[in-house]
């Protein structure tokens, strides 16, 4: 049986995805406005990108703004949009100099034209970089992503370009926003919440999950390394038997 199906977790994952949660609670605990929590969250984002590069990860995906986040108060949404613009305008050159490639996943059709141009510029500016791939999930929801993929495949069938029985897992994966990326091996959620909130539902089918009580603005190198250590301590079975069970079967 292929060793790839029985990774003992001795190495760091190539792709880590993070649900950045807890900015509001961080601010509330300190008697500060929510905006300050988001500002400190942006600092944590920068710190995490640097740490991911230092730790040798290949892909880092960050859940920055979901399709459901539009329901938040208008002032908070406007502030978050401003933070995104600030991040791209201020950090893009630094990311490019660090050989980081930026990828944005999510529904772009619903974005204002200026944000759509910003997203496209960020990707084009770093398209030739060969280091860490930084994936920003913006205006992203996994159900929305899967629906868009299904419609794309249905359109192919309707146009006669695709046979219905040719639609398999590979075809659906190739129609997702992450078509050119490996699936995450580790998903981290900060703030102590233990749900995945419509994030990478298809791609994280066999990912390991770490739920840490650390609020996102406090997520530092130590918290990151602790999550990676938890991953390395697990045995990934992908629905099969563990190594110990396989050894007992072989002996029998």
CA 87 – CA 45 distance, rounded (Å): 10
- Digit-by-digit pLDDT tens for the chain (252 residues) are 333 334 444 589 999 999 999 999 999 999 999 999 999 999 999 999 999 999 999 999 999 988 888 888 888 888 888 888 888 888 999 999 999 999 999 999 878 888 899 999 999 999 999 999 999 999 999 999 999 999 999 999 999 999 999 999 999 999 999 999 999 999 999 999 999 999 999 999 999 999 999 999 999 999 999 999 999 999 987 676 555 554 554 555
The one catalytic residue in 21, 91, 144, 177 is 21
Residue 183 is a catalytic residue:
no
Angle at the Cα of 50 (from 9 to 142), degrees rounded to 5? 65
Continuous H helices in the chain: 23-29, 34-54, 74-97, 113-125, 142-158, 169-173, 221-232, 243-251
Q: What is the pLDDT of residue 241?
A: 57
pLDDT for 237: 76
Would you call 21 a catalytic residue per the annotation? yes
Q: Could you give phi then psi for residue 208, rounded to 5 degrees?
A: -85, 145
pTM of full prediction above 0.75: yes
- Quick: pLDDT tens for 200-227: 999 999 999 999 999 999 999 999 999 9
pLDDT of residue 114: 87
User: Residue 101: in which H helix or E strand, if any?
Assistant: strand 101-105
| Cα distance between residue 151 and residue 146, in whole Å | 9
Catalytic residue among 23, 51, 54, 69: 69
């Amino acid at each position: 049986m292929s060793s790839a199906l029985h990774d003992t977790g001795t190495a760091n994952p190539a792709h880590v995805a993070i649900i950045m949660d807890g900015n509001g609670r961080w601010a509330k605990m300190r008697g500060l406005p929510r905006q300050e929590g988001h500002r400190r969250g942006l600092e944590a984002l920068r710190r995490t990108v640097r740490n991911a590069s230092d730790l040798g990860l290949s892909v880092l995906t960050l859940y920055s703004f979901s399709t459901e986040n539009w329901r938040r108060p208008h002032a908070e949404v406007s502030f978050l949009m401003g933070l995104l613009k600030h991040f791209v305008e201020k950090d893009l050159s630094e990311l490019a100099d660090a050989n980081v490639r930026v990828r944005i996943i999510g529904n772009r059709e619903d974005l204002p034209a200026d944000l759509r141009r910003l997203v496209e510029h960020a990707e084009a500016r770093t398209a030739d970089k060969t280091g860490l791939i930084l994936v920003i999930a913006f205006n992203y929801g996994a159900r929305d992503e899967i629906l868009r993929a299904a419609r794309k495949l249905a359109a192919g069938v309707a146009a006669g370009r695709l046979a219905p029985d040719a639609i398999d897992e590979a075809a659906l994966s190739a129609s997702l926003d992450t078509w050119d990326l490996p699936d995450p091996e580790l998903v981290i959620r900060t703030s102590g919440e233990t749900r995945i909130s419509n994030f990478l539902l298809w791609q994280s089918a066999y990912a390991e999950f770490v739920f840490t009580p650390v609020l996102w603005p406090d997520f530092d190198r130590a918290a990151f390394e602790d999550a990676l250590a938890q991953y390395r301590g697990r045995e990934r079975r992908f629905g099969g038997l563990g190594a110990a069970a396989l050894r007992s079967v072989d002996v029998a």
